[in-house]
């Protein structure tokens, strides 16, 4: 596990549970470096002051808040540390709520997820809190300051630990009022509704994250690895006009003929003599409503066979 | 021209909508001389209404697939009567002339440049499997074998639009052949069965070529198959 990125304590009432935070997710996107095209050296981004017309170091910068056009107030690290927030070193639980939001509640828009790890001194209380939340189906709504920013967060049990998810503040969530949405529910035919429900039902299942992967990243990595190994990379075909239906029908004919031959060979090998029905291809031949046995032997066989058998699923 | 039923193809009432027959789910391929076996085409099931040189679709899909398949307007030229209703499946074929669910999805998603120029979206194809109306009369009471034979006379074959190719009696052989081609289901129509709306009973089966070894999450193609699309 990587280094913890935050240390503090879960606090509610008089309870304090020292914990560490670890990022629960990481980006697997493929990133590129910018190179100078002529020499292929990696370029550098310098911090440049236009007033002094010189390159400066990061250490020579301070934080400024633009309160008016080109007017800044400097905010120092001391200013940030002196912010009177109870949540500076704590995950301050404000309320326990159902872990799954009710339909009437607005959705919880997640920013970032963190795993919690209890400090040795807080393991028992940590397990107790986790167990109670799990048994009751509850999550905690809390506040926490991470990287100088106070965040709204939810805390809920996940396996043997707790998952902290920072949430967007309500005023950060854009309204849907600007979207062009239908005001009235369109009238659906019962068959359309039934079809939609059938489609949803057919695709309903458990969410298994392992079934999903980033196909674009995999394809891009294949291109990169091919270039590293000096192989040609195969560009996708620009035009895929597709084959003809007649080719498919021909393939079908050939495949049936091959399967038929294979089956007959198997029958001969098994020394089982079964009369064959004449094969009738109605699609390209004149009407032949019912297949008729080709000779007397087949006629006997056809009569001996049941005319129709019930096939059930 | 008189059709199988002796009616004038350009007269009589016009069907507005067809209530489809729903196939019975079969368990395994079987041989039976009373049945016609053919591929269960993995595409969009659609009734094609041809009248006065125009084509209208009634598709088992949540959205009208017509705009994604402008080629289908050409069906009117292939149908040798003024008015008919065909039961069909719309497919998109890949470069190997195999039905592709992915290309079908991309077609429906709008990867289409128009003016007959596909944008890496395969080639559209139409397989007709039944003829339900001819002129002003329904053929629903006619046996499937007769309807199918009449279909072969009404629909002029073209490289992209054909009557289905079926095989009488040889369900197991056809299933093996289709398995080799990557198909997953066989369609089995009873030759003497009329067409009727709703559950097909033993008139029409959709039979899996192989029982799945284990339940897997439904893919788009599997969902489309289950819906009869």
DSSP, residue by residue, B117-171: -BSS--EEEEEEEEEEEETTEE-TTS-HHHHHHHHHHHBPP-SSEEEPP-EEE-H
Which residue in the set B60, B120, B218 is minimally distant from A203, CB to CB? B218
Is residue B15 in a domain? no
Provide the CA A141 distance to its chain's centre, in angstroms: 25
Is residue A112 in a domain? yes
In Å, what is the CA distance from A263 to each residue of A85, B177, B212?
81, 11, 23
Cα A135 from Cα A200, distance rounded (Å): 31
CATH code at A109?
A: 2.40.290.10
Ordered alpha helix ranges (H), A94-143: 123-136
Contact A166, A176 (CB under 8 A): no
Would you call B165 and A284 a contact, using CB atoms and an 8 Å cutoff? yes
Is residue A120 in a domain? yes
Query: Average of pLDDT values for B206-214?
Result: 72
Closest CA to B197 of B47, B10, B34: B47
Cα A136 from Cα A94, distance rounded (Å): 17
Is residue B143 in a domain? yes
Is residue A131 in a domain? yes
Which DSSP category does B68 fall into?
A: G
Chain B CB contacts of A247 under 8 Å are 97
Give the pLDDT of residue B11.
Answer: 54
Is residue A161 in a domain? yes
- Tell which B residues from 36 to 75 touch A, by Cβ distance under 8 Å: 36, 38-39, 60, 62
Cα B86 from Cα B88, distance rounded (Å): 6
pLDDT digits (tens, 9 = 90+) for A5-20: 899 999 888 888 999 9
Chain A CB contacts of B27 under 8 Å are 311-313
Is residue B136 in a domain? yes
Cα A114 from Cα A23, distance rounded (Å): 4
Residue B222: closest C-alpha in chain A: A202
Contact A153, A95 (CB under 8 A): no
Closest CA to A155 of A9, A26, A25, A27: A9
The pLDDT of residue B221 is above 60: no
Cα A100 from Cα A107, distance rounded (Å): 10
Is residue B36 in a domain? yes
Structural domain that includes position B125:
24-226
Is residue B64 in a domain? yes
Is residue A97 in a domain? yes
Give the pLDDT of residue A87.
Answer: 61
Q: Per the structure, how many domains does chain A have?
A: 1
- To the nearest whole Å, the CA of B2 is away from the closest chain A CA by 15
Is residue B16 in a domain? no
- To the nearest whole Å, the CA of B30 is away from the closest chain A CA by 9
Is residue A122 in a domain? yes
Chain B CB contacts of A302 under 8 Å are 33
- To the nearest whole Å, the CA of A254 is away from the closest chain B CA by 8
Closest CA to A286 of B7, B153, B167: B153
pLDDT digits (tens, 9 = 90+) for A81-109: 787 766 667 899 999 999 887 777 778 89
Which residue in the set A240, A245, A262 is minimally distant from B160, CB to CB? A245
Provide the CA A68 distance to its chain's centre, in angstroms: 42
- To the nearest whole Å, the CA of A223 is away from the closest chain B CA by 21
Query: Average of pLDDT values for A263-279?
Result: 64
Contact B136, B14 (CB under 8 A): yes
Is residue A80 in a domain? no
Which DSSP category does B191 fall into?
A: T
Which residue in the set A195, A240, A246 is minimally distant from B62, CB to CB? A195
User: For the whole model, what pTM was predicted?
Assistant: 0.57
Report chain A's mean pLDDT, rounded to a whole number: 80
pLDDT digits (tens, 9 = 90+) for B57-95: 888 766 778 888 888 888 999 999 889 999 999 999 888
For the stretch A201-206, contacts whose Cβ atoms lie closer than 8 Å and that sit 24 or more positions apart, written own/partner, are A202/B218, A202/B222, A202/B223, A202/B226, A202/B227, A203/B218, A203/B223, A205/B217, A205/B218
Assembly ipTM: 0.79
Is residue A304 in a domain? no
Structure tokens at A118: 């209890």
Structural domain that includes position A133:
6-26+85-171
The pLDDT of residue B46 is above 80: yes
Is residue B173 in a domain? yes
- To the nearest whole Å, the CA of B83 is away from the closest chain A CA by 20
CATH code at B190?
A: 3.30.470.30
Q: Per the structure, how many domains does chain B have?
A: 1
Residue B61: closest C-alpha in chain A: A195
Say yes or no: B1 contacts chain A, CB-CB below 8 A.
no
């Amino acid at each position: 596990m990587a280094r913890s990125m935050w240390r503090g304590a879960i606090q509610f009432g008089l309870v304090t549970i020292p914990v560490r935070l670890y990022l629960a997710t990481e980006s697997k996107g493929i990133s590129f470096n910018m190179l100078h095209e002529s020499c292929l050296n990696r370029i550098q981004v310098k911090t440049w002051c236009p007033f002094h017309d010189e390159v400066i170091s990061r250490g020579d910068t301070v934080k400024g808040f633009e309160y008016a056009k080109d007017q800044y107030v400097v905010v120092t690290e001391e200013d940030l540390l002196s912010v009177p927030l109870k949540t500076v070193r704590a995950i301050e639980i404000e309320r326990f709520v159902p872990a799954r939001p009710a339909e009437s509640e607005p959705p919880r828009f997640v920013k970032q997820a963190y795993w919690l790890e209890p400090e040795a001194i807080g393991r028992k209380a940590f397990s107790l809190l986790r167990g109670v939340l799990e048994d009751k189906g509850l999550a905690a709504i809390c506040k926490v300051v991470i990287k100088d920013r106070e965040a709204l967060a939810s805390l809920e049990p996940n396996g043997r630990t707790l998952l902290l998810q920072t949430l967007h503040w309500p005023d950060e969530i854009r309204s849907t009022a600007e979207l062009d949405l239908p005001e009235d529910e369109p009238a659906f035919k019962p068959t359309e509704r039934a079809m939609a429900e059938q489609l949803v039902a057919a695709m309903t299942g458990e969410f298994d994250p392992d079934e999903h992967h980033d196909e674009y990243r995999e394809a891009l990595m294949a291109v990169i690895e091919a270039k590293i190994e000096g192989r040609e990379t195969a560009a996708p075909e620009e035009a895929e006009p597709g084959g003809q239906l007649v080719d498919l029908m021909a393939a079908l004919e050939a495949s049936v003929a091959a399967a038929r031959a294979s089956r007959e060979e198997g029958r001969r090998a098994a020394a089982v003599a079964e009369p064959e029905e004449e094969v009738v291809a109605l699609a390209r031949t004149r009407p032949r409503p019912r297949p008729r046995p080709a000779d007397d032997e087949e006629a006997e066989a056809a009569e001996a066979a049941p005319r129709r058998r019930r096939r059930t699923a | 021209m008189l059709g199988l039923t002796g009616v004038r193809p350009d007269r009589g009432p016009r069907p507005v909508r067809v209530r489809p027959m729903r196939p019975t789910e079969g368990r395994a391929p079987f041989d039976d001389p009373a049945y016609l076996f053919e591929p269960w085409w993995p595409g969009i099931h659609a009734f094609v209404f041809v009248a006065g040189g125009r084509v209208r679709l009634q598709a088992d899909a949540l959205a009208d697939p017509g705009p994604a398949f402008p080629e289908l307007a050409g069906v009117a030229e292939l149908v040798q009567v003024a008015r008919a209703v065909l039961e069909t499946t719309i497919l998109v074929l890949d470069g190997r002339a195999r039905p592709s669910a992915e290309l079908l999805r991309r077609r429906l998603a709008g990867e289409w440049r128009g003016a007959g120029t596909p944008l890496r979206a395969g080639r559209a194809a139409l397989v007709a499997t039944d003829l339900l109306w001819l002129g002003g009369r329904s053929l629903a009471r006619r046996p499937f074998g007769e309807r199918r034979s009449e279909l072969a006379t009404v629909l002029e074959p073209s490289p992209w639009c054909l009557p289905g190719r079926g095989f009488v009696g040889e369900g197991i052989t056809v299933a093996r052949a289709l398995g080799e081609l990557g198909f997953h289901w066989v369609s089995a129509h009873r030759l003497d069965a009329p067409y009727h709306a709703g559950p097909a009973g033993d008139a029409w089966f959709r039979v899996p070529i192989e029982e799945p070894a284990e339940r897997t999450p439904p893919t788009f193609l599997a969902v489309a198959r289950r819906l009869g699309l």
